[in-house]
Structure formats: structure tokens, C-alpha cells
Structure 1
Amino acid sequence: MANQPVLFIHGLWLHATSWDPWFDFFRNEGFDPVAPPWPGERDTVEETRAHPEDVADKSIDDVTGHFAKIIEGFDVPPVIIGHSFGGLIAEKLLGQGFGNAGVAIDPAQIKGVLPLPLAQLRAALPALLNPTNISKPIALTEKEFKFGFANELSDDEAHELYEKYSIPSTVRPLFQAAAANFNMHSQAAVNTKNETRGPLLLVSGTADHTVPDVTTDATLKQYRDSTAVTELIKFHGRGHSLTIDHGWRDVATEVLVWLRQQSVEPD
């Protein structure tokens, strides 16, 4: 029988290699992890930075469909773990019946989530300030990365992570999420009422600027009409970088413990 796969999905402005520590951690625990790139993303940070046009103009549905096709190639339904917009994608896939469990870490707001804190708005401004950005590849400056991802880190660690993982990204998903509650058919909509889906864990960093804690709290409330397991774990004083900074192992360990509580184990 095939072993239990884990599919990692990163968010905007990070490369798939940002999951490398998690990849090794879960493989050492007996799982079969994969961390595919987004559509158009090259194999390395350097190549992706050199060809930003390849990642431009990808929508939420484009990215969701990309990962759905990958899942369809598995012999065993995977655990789906996503960060930021990858978390939103993980929620969409789980709601559509993909995967046997999902983890959404600091997930981008889905349709129905109303809070829009000032810090979140400021973190999104590099993309949203100019409407013509919707079809362009946008890269964060180091200062913008520090505010949006690394506000709880030293300048040295923030610089290291920026250089190691930051890439240009499509920002169409940001525009779609921002307008979700004004669009009846928004691609940011998730089937939160699905009662036959696998268990879902939401993870929040309470000092996150990009997806503030209040946003994740509001996301949890969207699942109140489903009897499927939906739980929330908070990491106090952690920012949006909680999956890639020096404390990543604490988050990964809690996710692993939760999966075992849901009887999701390697074969």
C-alpha cells in the first residue's frame, strides 16, 4: 500500500523551496511529502526571479486546479498543508473533497470573512495600490517583506529569509480575495458547509500583519454550519514568517501532533 503523502502549498511571494525544512521533517516522520511549485514557477528562486512573467496573471482557480491535478495522480489522498494563499487553496481543495485532512496556516481570507485590519491592508498595498497590477508579476521590496512577513524577526533574519525565499508572484488572487464579498461567484469562495470532508486545522500567528489573528478567527466562524472537524491553534507573538523562520519546527510539531490526533499516520 502507498504511504501517506503530504502536499505542501506555499503562498504569494515565497518559493516552493520554502517548505524544504518541513519536507525533511515530515519525511523523517515516515510521511511521503511533496512541495510542487505554483504554475509558472521555476525550480529555483534565482530562475523564478529571472523569469517573473511566467508567474503572472494566475488566478485562485488556476492555482487550485493545478494542485487538484497533482492530487489526482496520487494513489492515496494526501494531507494538504498550505500557508497564506496556499492555506486558502488547501481550504478550497478540502471543501471540494480532495485530501484526507487539511492544515491552513495563516490562510488568506475566504469569501465571507469581513474583518480587514489596517495592518493587513498595508501589507497588501504593494499589489492593490495600482489596479493595473492585477495581471503583472509583483515582487516585494525587502522593506515590504519585513513588514508583511518578518515583523517579529531581527533585521538579520528577515534579510536572510528575503534573500533565500522571496520571489515575484501573481497578485490576481489578492484582488480576487479583496473583492470576494462583492462577487457572487468569487473564486475565493470555499465550501465551508461540507460535512464529509476531512478534518481541518487553522493555524494563526497572533502578530501576523498579512493575515491578522482576527482574520483567522473569522475564518473559523465560517465553518460553524459543518459537523466536520475544524480546529484552531494560535502561536502567540508569531508573524507571517512562522513557517520559515527560526521557530518553524514548533509549528510543524504541533501540526504533526494534531494529525496524529486525527488518526492520520504514515502506513
Structure 2
Amino acid sequence: MSTHPPVLFIHGLWLHATSWTTWIDHFAAAGYDASAPGWPGEPATVQEARTRPEAVAGHGIDDVVAHYAKIIVDLPDKPVVIGHSFGGLIAQRLLGEDLVAGAIAIDAAQIKGVLPLPVSALKATVPVFKNPANRNRAVSLTAAQFRFAFGNAIAATESDELFDRWAIPAPGKPLFEAAAANFNPHSAAKVATDNSHRGPLLLTLGGKDHTVPASVTRATLKQYRHSTAVTDLREFPDRGHSLTIDHGWPVVADSCLSWLADQGL
């Protein structure tokens, strides 16, 4: 029987849940019972997700949080959640609401209160924001758009291979919600950053990330200044948004494992 808490991996926009497969195996080898349930409505395979974009359309941040909260209730113990991009925002929501034992937010989407809006982040999300109707639709990236948003720090050939393997349509609603968060007192992107009784949190940043630039993650860290709970930051200076799926993923995964060990999780 494992002495570790279960681990739930939560992906972000434009990647399928099966993109965590290597992480699941890696964490299993380290003694963790790990899984990666998809977002609400997400089909079981990449190919099916591509042919049925309407299955995920219209789901917002609250829907995703509620979906994972229901999964967590059925686990034997409070899990650790590890989320990438918008999955990192969801992980912070779950942690702030005391539903999990700890969280790792890898290059997480901006939460309410974060002000920096770098040009590269705007460009990465243009495919969604160019049409207001995309709020209730699922939107796909082209291979070129994926290279800018995810694969800018790796070879173009590797980026295209990752696009072919893992890219799926993503709901536009979470991006619209995050964009309006600082104008909405009841925003779904609001996280209980002042909770001092929560479990530990690790934020990571990729120094070359276009979608979630370093300034966004550093501003996120500042949002936790009123909490006495553990809030750490680890930097990967030469990595882009593809850091969980590209050839360098083991470095990030091992860093996460070492941090969990430091926290006794």
C-alpha cells in the first residue's frame, strides 16, 4: 500500500488528458497512485476529441472545478493535484478550498488579481478572442499557432509532433472568464490566496513561456503574500509552455517529485 497521497494530474487548454501518460508512469515508479481524468465532456481519445469539439464547448472554470471535486470525493485520501496551464488555475482553486492535500501549478493561467498582460500571452490566445462567439464554442489551434503558444522553446519539428499527438479543441469560456476576472468580484478565476490553513503550493514558471510568461507567475506568487502556508516557486529558465510534454518533461517531473518529498507528501 502506498504511503503517499493519490495524485491527480489536470491538463490545460488544447491538450488531451492522455498527454500525462508518461508522468503517470513516472509517479507510479516513485510509489504514487496517479491518474489524469479529463475535463468535463472530454472524449477518451485525442482523435475522438478532435471529431467532437462540441463535447467540451461551453464548460467554464466552475464546471471544471466541480468536476474534479466530485472525483476527489471518491478517493481514499485527499490527493495532491498537479495542473498545467489552466489546470494549474484549477489546482489552485481546489487547494484554496481545502479539497486537496497539496498542489503544484505548472505555468498556471492567471488568477484573479494578477495584472500583467504580456503581448505574447495576448498573441497566444488570439485564436479564441478574435470572435466573441467563441465563448460558447470549442476552438482549435493550427500547428503554427501551437508552435507559438507551446513549442517556441523547442525545435519546430518536435512542436509539430507534439501537436499531432496531443492537441485537441478547447473550450473558449475559461479564457473569457480569466480575461474579465479583475472586473468581476465573483469571478470563477478567484482563488482563496489568503488561506493559511491549506496544504503547500508549488508554482513553476518557464522562462521562455509565451502563453504564461514569467511575469504572470511571479505576480501570482505575490497574490499569496497574506497566507502563511507554504508557497514556493521553481523556475525553468529555458522552457516554454510545452514543458510537461516535450523531451525535457522528466526534469520538470523530477523537480515536482523532489518538492513533494520536501513537503512530506
Contact 1:8 1:82 in 2 (8 A): yes
Corresponding residue of 1:112 = 113
Deviation string 1:218-246 (CA, Å, 9 cap, x unpaired) is: 00000000000000000011000000000
Q: Could you tell me how far 1:141 is from its partner in structure 2?
A: 0.5
Corresponding residue of 2:32 = 31
Q: Could you tell me how far 1:128 is from its partner in structure 2?
A: 0.9
Contact 2:9 2:35 in 1 (8 A): yes
Corresponding residue of 2:157 = 156
Contact 1:95 1:190 in 2 (8 A): yes
Which stretches in structure 2 are left out of the alignment for 5+ residues? none
Deviation string 1:243-262 (CA, Å, 9 cap, x unpaired) is: 00000000000000000000
After superposition, the CA RMSD in angstroms is: 0.8
Corresponding residue of 1:103 = 104
Structure 1: how far apart are the matches of 2:210 and 2:217? 12
Deviation string 1:198-227 (CA, Å, 9 cap, x unpaired) is: 000000001000000000000000000000
Corresponding residue of 1:49 = 50
| SS of the residue 1:192 aligns to | coil
TM-score by length of 2: 0.98
Q: Could you tell me how far 1:156 is from its partner in structure 2?
A: 1.0
Structure 2 residue identity aligned to 1:54: A
Contact 1:105 1:204 in 2 (8 A): yes
| SS of the residue 2:105 aligns to | strand
Structure 2 residue identity aligned to 1:71: I
Structure 1 residue identity aligned to 2:11: H
Percent of aligned pairs with the same amino acid: 56
Q: Could you tell me how far 1:2 is from its partner in structure 2?
A: 6.3
Corresponding residue of 2:211 = 210
Task: Please give the residue correspondences for 1:60-209 in structure 2 after superposition, counting only pairs within 5 Å.
Answer: 60-209=61-210
Q: Could you tell me how far 1:50 is from its partner in structure 2?
A: 1.0
Structure 1 residue identity aligned to 2:85: S
Structure 2 residue identity aligned to 1:151: N
Structure 1: how far apart are the matches of 2:167 and 2:129? 19
Structure 1 residue identity aligned to 2:100: G
Structure 2: how far apart are the matches of 1:52 and 1:118? 28
| SS of the residue 1:159 aligns to | helix
Q: Could you tell me how far 1:155 is from its partner in structure 2?
A: 1.3
Structure 1: how far apart are the matches of 2:35 and 2:22? 12
| SS of the residue 2:82 aligns to | strand
Contact 1:208 1:240 in 2 (8 A): yes
Q: Could you tell me how far 1:48 is from its partner in structure 2?
A: 0.7
Structure 1's consecutive aligned runs of 4 or more residues displaced over 3 angstroms after TM superposition are: none
Corresponding residue of 2:228 = 227
Q: Could you tell me how far 1:25 is from its partner in structure 2?
A: 0.2
Structure 2: how far apart are the matches of 1:201 and 1:245? 21
TM-score by length of 1: 0.98
Structure 1: how far apart are the matches of 2:145 and 2:210? 11
Structure 1: how far apart are the matches of 2:131 and 2:262? 45
Structure 2: how far apart are the matches of 1:20 and 1:92? 24
